[in-house]
Structure 1
C-alpha cells in the first residue's frame, strides 16, 4: 500500500509494507519526498531508533529507476531519456 500527498514544496509518497503473508517480517514505512532539486528517502531504523536519510538528485533517481530493469553491466542514460 502507498499514499501520495501534494504539499506546498514537495510531493510525499509513503510506502507501507503490508506483507503477503501474516508471518512475514514487515519493514518500517518508507517516506519519499520529491522536491524541486532533489528526492529524499527516509526510513526508521528500528535498531538505532533513528531515521535514516538518503538524498538523490533527480538524475540519480532516473538512473536508479532504469537500473531496476537492466541486467548486470555499466550504463549511461541518453539525454533523451531524461
Structure 2
C-alpha cells in the first residue's frame, strides 16, 4: 500500500509494507526539484535513516530496475534531429 501527498515544495510518497510478518518499517520518499530523499526508521537504533539521491541517480535507479546484470551509463541524446 502507498500514499501520495503533494506538499508546498515536494511530493511525499509513503510505502507501507503489507503481508505476512516480518514487515519492514514504512518508507517515506520526498521528491524535490533538485533531489529525492528516502527515509526509514531503524528499529534497532530508533533513528530515522536518510538517503539523498540526485535526479540523475534516481533516473539511473529507475533504469536499473529493468536491466540485466552489467555496467551501464545513460547518455542524454538530442531529440531535435541535429
TM-score normalised to structure 1 length: 0.90
* 1:39 matched to 2:36: yes
Distance in 2 between residues matched to 1:42 and 1:10, nearest whole Å? 14
Corresponding position of 2:80: none
Report the RMSD for the aligned CA atoms in angstroms.
0.8
Tell me how far 1:5 sits from its aligned partner. 0.2
Q: How does 1:58-77 map to 2 (within 5 A)?
A: 58-77=55-74
Larger CA Rg, structure 1 vs 2: 2
* 1:56 matched to 2:53: yes
Corresponding position of 1:17: 17
TM-score normalised to structure 2 length: 0.90
Which digits, 9 at most, give the CA deviation of each residue in 1:35-82, with x for residues without a partner? 1110000000000000000000011001011111111111011214xx
Structure 1: where are the runs of 5+ without partners?
A: none
